[in-house]
Structures are given as C-alpha cells and as structure tokens.
Structure 1
Amino acid sequence: MSIFKACDIRGKFPVELDASLAYRIGRAVGTKLRGGPVILGGDLRLSTPELKAAVTKGLVESGCQVKDLGTVPTPVFYFALRRLTGHAGVMVTASHNPKEYNGFKLALGPMPVTEEDIQQIKQLTEEGNFINGKGKLESLELTEEYLQDTLAKVKPGKGLKVVIDASNGSAWSIAPHAFELMGYKVTTLNCEPDGSFPGHPPNPAVAENLQDLCRKVVEEEADVGIAFDGDGDRVGFVDNLGQQVPNDKNIVIFVKKLLSEHHGAKVVYDIKCSSIVPESVRDLGGIPLMEKSGYTFIKRRMLDEKALFGGEITGHFFYDHLGGGDDALYSSLLMAQILTESMESLSDLVREIPTYCTTPDLRIPVPGEQAREILTQVQGKLARYNPQTIDGVRVEFPEGWGLMRISVTEPLLTFRFEGKTPSDLEKVVNVFLSALPEELGQQVESRIRSLYRQEKKNQIA
C-alpha cells in the first residue's frame, strides 16, 4: 500500500520511506506552501534524524523559512502551530507504530489536512515539478513555554501516586517532570529515551503493551497508571487495581467532568466507540456527534461544529481550548485532577459506567479492490437497516451495532460488533454474517469463537 495515508504519510524505513523520498516530500510540501514559514519537529525514532535532515533540505531548497523545535512530543509541535499563527508544519514521526516505521504529520493551514491534500503532496513528489528558493533554517525552543501553558490549565495533585510509562518515547522527560511539578508522587517505567522502544511497542491502546504498567501500579499501590505512545499524543490509563481502562470509558469519565461545566455542549466521538459514549453524552445533557476514525477527521469535525470535546478509541482526546486538537500530557493531568476532585478511585469511576459486550477490531486480510467490492455488496444487502456510511458500513439495532470498514493503513477489512448482552451481540453478528461472502463470514466467525475461547481461559485463570 502507498505510504500516503488518509491523514498523514507513514511507512517502513528504509524499505518504503528513505532519505531520498523524504527530501522529495520536503520539496513537495515547500512547493505547495510556495516557500512559506514552516514549524519542524521530530520524535525519538532511530531513523528520525536522517529523515528530518532530508525533509529540511527539501523545504529550504523550496524557499521555506524552517523553524526547528528539535526532538519534541507531537503536542509541543501543535502548540507551536497555535502559538505562531500563519505557519505550516512538518512533524517527523510514526506515532504509535512499531520501531521500523516512520513518517510525517503535516499541517498546511489552519484546518487539518485533507485526503486531497495528501494526494496532492504525493502527486508533486512523484512528478517533481518543484519550485526553487533560498529558504533558511533556525532553531526554536518552545518546550518550556508549552509546559507552563499546559500546567496552567489544570489544578495541583495533592499527593496522588501515579506510575508513568513513556514507552521509551518522546514523553520520557516532560511527563514525569510535569506531574512532579503538580505535586504528584511519581514512579517511572520505560522513561529512558530509546527510539528502538525496548520496553514494549509504543501503542498504549494494546493491552499486551500495558502488562508491566498494570503490575507496577499494583506493586506501588498507585492511584493510576499512565501510558504514552511513541510521540506523546495518545494516552492510556490503568486503574488502581491494575486493570486497563477501555478508552471509551475514559471518554465517558472526561465527558462527565467537562459537561458538568458546559451543559449542552457538543461531543465528537469516533465510529468505533461503544454506545455507552453517545448514551452518556445525551444523559449528561450534551449533543453526541459520530465521526469517521482518524485524527484529522475528528479535529475537523471539532472545529466545524465548535465542539467542546472529542474522543477516539485509540486514545486521542481533543479539546476546544486546544484549537480542537489533542494532547496526551494535558489529558493525563486532567484525568489525575478528576481523581483528586472526585475522592473516588479510578476503578470506582469505571465501575459506575455500564459495560456492554464489545469485540475488539477483527482484522481480516482482503486485497484493496476486493475489499471495496465486498463493502458495496454488504451495504446493499443491509440496506433495509439504513446503514451509516461515513466510514464503511455501520448498522445500529436497538440491542447493539455492527461495523465493517476498510483499513486505511493495511489491505484489511476490519469488523467490530457490540451488544448490550451476550445474546444481543450474537444477534448483531449473525445479521452481518448473513450479508458476507461465505468464506469471509467463516473467517469472521472463527475469530469471534477464538475470542470466546480466550475469554473463558482468562476467567478460569
């Protein structure tokens, strides 16, 4: 598949993305910007220095005035874009992806990039019709200003015990420092900077990656465990009992806090979230807005709707006072503030939220063109249920919902199902299975049976 994705540019280094291609991408971005000012940052990945130097060269030779933030978490990059209005931006990172990946997050104007923007960069990169100019490169330090701005938005912690797992990524220093400044008792895990991510893959949404954090929270008798991804824009939480908190329940916890202060506000959530999210938003007097999964889609909807808050099941949390953007450090400090103010444990807050029967993503390899044909066929077969089609096919029933969508990063069809009870889940799954080609339906059914077997093993253990 192409490295030019729906929301960014991302691929394996150096097989899919190398310094030569990074230079051409820099030239393409500079050409599209007509040599305007550009904020530049990079994460801790081992390939980032090489790719960053190459993309910088391309930008400068296209006439761009490049301001280099150095090695920073992505939220510092977004802060710089808010702070220095009129600047575009390039962040060298592959976010939560495994160590062999790298890429570029782009900001080309005040609104998030579109799929059309990314395709235009691809076309310019391939055709090579670049403008020439004499730009320049200068350093810019904004990390301390970002930190102080973030801390000013939250209240002190009054001694809560936190365990911070930075995944050996870009939040390795700033996150523990921020919590210590706010009065928390901090224990660190995987807070040594290492772009090979030796502790675990840098994705806090994956349960296996949080096993050490879960154990450490129990061992330290901590109030909360906090895990950041590789570039510090996603975050996951572990409760005081050492259990990972599902991100849709984290969204509900944030919504309870924010809607209590802004009754009637809009909340954006991604299409893969549990029904407990829109139900909770409505119960709290808010207006839930479903959106396609992906950073740029959620942020654009936040801005278009003037929404208060947005949540994505991957661990991105968005705020109106951050220009509609996300920030894992701010989100983690806000969660700690909620725990301080509530006088309840995180496990208690989670227990108050209903639990429905929801499958994880079921990922079935299907070539791109075939996947699109199957999706169209399934949409037709399920037409009587009035499916939503903002991202694949999603059908809602009184007792749950089912979702089938094409992966934007791999040649896969992904499925996700939810029922309020196990029997409700079975009903929802059966409706979708009846609409699928026989072989694909058997694969989906096999994955679900495997999940049931694993769940029973876990219960016995």
Structure 2
Amino acid sequence: MTATAYTVPAQEIFKAYDIRGIVDKTLTADAVRAIGHALGSEAVARGQKAIAVGRDGRLSGPELAGALADGIRAAGVDVVDIGCVPTPLTYFAAYELGTHSCVSVTGSHNPPDYNGLKMVLGGQTLYGPQILDLRRRIAEGDLAHGAGTLRQAQVVDAYLERILGDVKLARPMKVVIDCGNGVAGAVAPTLFKRLGCELVELFCEVDGKFPNHHPDPSKPENLQDVIRALKETDAEIGLAFDGDGDRLGVVTKDGEIIYPDRQLMLFAEDVLSRVPGGEIIYDVKCTRNLAGWIKQRGGKATMWNTGHALVKAKLKETGAPLAGEMSGHVFFKERWYGFDDGLYAGARLLEILSRAADPSAVLKALPDAVSTPELNIKMNEGEPFELVKRLREQAGFEGATEVVTLDGVRVEYADGFGLARPSNTTPVVVLRFEADDAAALARIQGAFRKALEGVWPGVALPF
C-alpha cells in the first residue's frame, strides 16, 4: 500500500502523560488522524488488534474521536467506539471488551477549548518517550497500513453492574454530587442512586462549555457550590468530579475539603484490613502523615513520582493493592483494575463512611497538618528543570533530616517538609509546604526562599 504523508503535529502537544492541545490550533482533526495512524502502527508492533475509543463531553469530541478512529483503522487495527463516557469507563472497556488497548479523547480538567488523548496499549499507559515516539513515526512515515473495522459498543451497564456487585453501603446516605458539567454527569447520578443514595445533584448535565465552574475539584474555588449545598440541605457529604471523571474531590458537612492524600489514609486503612502487609504507593506531593499512618496499620509505604501514568506503571510493577496522588487520582487494584477512577473511588469512600453515624467526623479525625495548596513558579519552557537541577546540586538545607530527589527536591524536617518539582505538563516549578504549625511552615518556606533565590536570582516566588 502507498505511504500516507501527514503534516507532523506540533511538538508542544506531546506531553509527559498524554497528548493535549488547543482545538483547531495545535490539536486539529488532521493531527489527531495522524496520531491515530501512528498509535495504530504501534499497536500492530505490539501485537494489538483492536482499540476501544471513548470521549468526554467536549464539543470537539465527536470530530476528534472520528479522526482518531480513521487513523487507527488506516493502520489495520479495529476500533470499538464506546461513545461519550468518563475516561475510567474507557479504561474499563479495554478489560470488558477484551481489547486491552484504549484511548480516551479528553481535555480532562482543562478549559473548553482544549482536548487531548490518554492512551493505553496492551494494558500499558503510554507516557514520556513512548508518546514522543508517535510523533517520530509520523515524521518518518514509519506507519503500518491496512483496513481496520469500526463497530459501536456500550459498556455503561457492565460498568455499573461490576461496581454494584462489589460495593455495598451499610445504610442509605444523602450526598451532594457536583459533576461540573463534565462527562461524569452521564454516569455518576445513576451509579450513586443505585448504590442507595439520595442525591443533591449539581451540574450533572454534560455541557462542554462548562458554564457553571471549571471542572477541577483540586481547586477550592470549584468546590464552593458543594460547600453551599451541604450547608443548605441535610446531605451528609459532598463529592465532586473533574471534567473526565478520573479524579475525586471530597467535602465534609461543615465545608472542610478533604484533600486526596487524606482520603488515601482512609482507603489505605480499609484496604490493609483485607490485604495485610500490602504496599501503598503515593506521590511526592502527599502529606508526610501518610507514611506513618500506613506503617502503623501494617502496610508498606512507598513514595513515588507524580503523574498518573507513572503511578500506574509502579502499581503494575509492585502488585500494590492501592495507590494515590495529591491531584486526586486514586488507583484501586484490590477489588478493581488498578486504573484511576473518580466514580469508583467515590463509591468506595461511601462504602466506608456508610458504616458511621457521622461520616464527616470520620473524615475530620484523619491526621492533618498546616499546609499550602500547590504553588507555581511560572517560567519559560525548559527553565523549571534547570532550576530544580541547580537546587538539587547546589542548595544546602540546614536542619533537614532527609533530602528526597526522586521527583524534584523534597526536603524533610522533623516538623514538616518543602517540595520543589518541575511540572511535566506546563512550564512551572510546583511547590508545596507542610508543617506541624504555622511557625514551622514559615521557617521551611524561608529556607526554600533562600535556596531558590540562591540558585535563580530574581525568581518570582508565589509565597
């Protein structure tokens, strides 16, 4: 067959964990068709015969999913179109339909004009060099050729039955759910009603314009509607989902946000009750209270790099029953498949909380600390990696008990920690600080201020 000549897509859309760009500018239908052909060619090289394709609720989804399917089929790989579903259902489809490979066409929690691709081949999430290699295939014309088939499939019912057969609530609960007009709204209300919940539904209509608030529950400003609904109704607890349904936000009755590293404590305790000695993986941004909590319950605590693809790879390698990230991605292998799923995490959370008369009291009793949200130093492309490299090589942190260089620089003290790591998705240095009290927090931030200004004079710090 004759070779297909494509325009090579812009380098900037090939991110560390996915492909992402602005629709009709950097991420065009032609670019996605070319990427589909490269992905299909990689699938052929790996002996994969079919790929399930799902999409979130963005307005550009149907066109881009169609272009992707055309590209995949041009490589001789079959496509199973599962329609508009949360990203976790696309991952589920790879198991349920036996394709072992899938792509979610999603812009995740990004603004409405973004879209992208999260890709799995043969059970492995593509990241880093594997994503860049797709661009190389397009540039070099290193493409397989064939005529794959296209068929439709529906996996929502199987997904719901799988969860409902596994997760049981001890009593009915009244819950606020906020889907932020993301695609979780297509599935979450049905799931939680069938689990036995009475719902206060916020923004569960799928609308790719996101007219109410940004679909990112990691930002406190996006949880204000949940906090208000909890105050105004007799609902016990609030759950919020991101744009594609793979991350979970949690709010107590009195409006306290329970960040994912504290959610992970509750999940770890529950999982370790059935998997004694199990390994629990968490990323470098998580609270220092987590390791001790896991060890006290007989588990093995493993700190790992940030990034859903990297955590999934580590989970697979270790056989750990549970992993989680500060960003809100939680990965259950015990009783589930090991992929990040905000809806399933919400169901597992309610299963635990339904055993208590006062769910908020259970959440508020989890160890807490004085901490900052994620802070960002905005820089030019490439600079964040250079700054953190200098920090690692040149900075001294007096009084530190340990300096962890697994992913950036995390400096541990007897009473807290500071972290600086280069983001793999945007040109920023991510900072996070935590301490036993405000004075310790100020001292640790002071040490980082001195170190950062020492290695990068004139740096504009967000604290």
Alignment of 1:313-392 (within 5 A): 313-320=326-333, 321-346=335-360, 348-382=361-395, 387-392=403-408
Task: State the TM-score, normalizing by the size of structure 1.
Answer: 0.92
Query: Which residue of 2 is the match for residue 47 of structure 1?
Result: 60
Task: State the TM-score, normalizing by the size of structure 2.
Answer: 0.92
Change (3 A) 1:110 1:250: same
Query: Which residue of 1 is the match for residue 3 of structure 2?
Result: none
Q: How far off is 1:225 after superposition?
A: 0.9
Check whether the contact 2:85–2:186 (CA below 8 A) recurs between aligned residues.
no
Query: Which residue of 2 is the match for residue 401 of structure 1?
Result: 417
User: How many Å separate the matches in 2 of 1:237 and 1:345?
Assistant: 12
Check whether the contact 2:453–2:459 (CA below 8 A) recurs between aligned residues.
no
Q: How far off is 1:438 after superposition?
A: 5.1
User: How many Å separate the matches in 1 of 2:455 and 2:389?
Assistant: 17
User: How many Å separate the matches in 2 of 1:302 and 1:87?
Assistant: 17
Check whether the contact 1:45–1:196 (CA below 8 A) recurs between aligned residues.
yes
1:432 to 436, 448, 454: 448
Task: Give CA deviations for 1:172-197 in whole Å, capped at 9, x if unaligned.
Answer: 13211111112211121101111111
Q: How far off is 1:282 after superposition?
A: 1.4
Alignment of 1:231-270 (within 5 A): 231-270=244-283
Q: Secondary structure at the match of 2:73?
A: helix
Query: Which residue of 1 is the match for residue 8 of structure 2?
Result: none
Check whether the contact 2:421–2:430 (CA below 8 A) recurs between aligned residues.
yes
Check whether the contact 1:36–1:87 (CA below 8 A) recurs between aligned residues.
no
The answer as to 2:207 corresponding to 1:202 is no
Query: Which residue of 1 is the match for residue 427 of structure 2?
Result: 411
Q: Secondary structure at the match of 1:106?
A: strand
Query: Given residue 328 of structure 1, which amino acid in structure 2 is its aligned partner?
Result: G
Query: Alignment length, in residue pairs?
Result: 446
Query: Given residue 424 of structure 1, which amino acid in structure 2 is its aligned partner?
Result: A
Q: How far off is 1:314 after superposition?
A: 1.2
Query: Which residue of 1 is the match for residue 33 of structure 2?
Result: 23
Query: Given residue 324 of structure 1, which amino acid in structure 2 is its aligned partner?
Result: G
Q: Secondary structure at the match of 1:415?
A: strand
Change (3 A) 1:246 1:176: same
User: How many Å separate the matches in 1 of 2:325 and 2:369?
Assistant: 18
Q: Secondary structure at the match of 2:440?
A: helix
Q: Secondary structure at the match of 2:355?
A: helix
Change (3 A) 1:100 1:338: same
Q: Secondary structure at the match of 2:125?
A: coil
Task: Give CA deviations for 1:150-205 in whole Å, capped at 9, x if unaligned.
Answer: 11111135221111111111121321111111221112110111111112111111
User: How many Å separate the matches in 1 of 2:438 and 2:29?
Assistant: 51
Check whether the contact 1:99–1:201 (CA below 8 A) recurs between aligned residues.
no
Q: How far off is 1:86 after superposition?
A: 4.8
Query: Which residue of 1 is the match for residue 129 of structure 2?
Result: 116
Change (3 A) 1:86 1:40: closer
1:12 to 16, 22, 43: 22
Query: Which residue of 2 is the match for residue 89 of structure 1?
Result: 102
User: How many Å separate the matches in 1 of 2:418 and 2:368?
Assistant: 17
Change (3 A) 1:382 1:263: farther
Check whether the contact 2:374–2:432 (CA below 8 A) recurs between aligned residues.
yes
Q: How far off is 1:322 after superposition?
A: 2.4
Query: Given residue 25 of structure 2, which amino acid in structure 1 is its aligned partner?
Result: V
Query: Which residue of 2 is the match for residue 458 of structure 1?
Result: none
What root-mean-square deviation, in Å, do the aligned CA atoms of Structure 1 and Structure 2 show?
1.9
2:144 to 120, 131, 134: 131
Task: Give CA deviations for 1:209-253 in whole Å, capped at 9, x if unaligned.
Answer: 111111011111211111111111111111111332222211112
Q: How far off is 1:444 after superposition?
A: 5.8
Q: Secondary structure at the match of 2:439?
A: helix
Task: Give CA deviations for 1:253-304 in whole Å, capped at 9, x if unaligned.
Answer: 2222222232211101111011121121112221111111111111111111
Q: How far off is 1:145 after superposition?
A: 0.6
Task: Give CA deviations for 1:320-351 in whole Å, capped at 9, x if unaligned.
Answer: 132321211111111111111122322x1233
Check whether the contact 1:8–1:105 (CA below 8 A) recurs between aligned residues.
yes
Alignment of 1:57-76 (within 5 A): 57-76=70-89
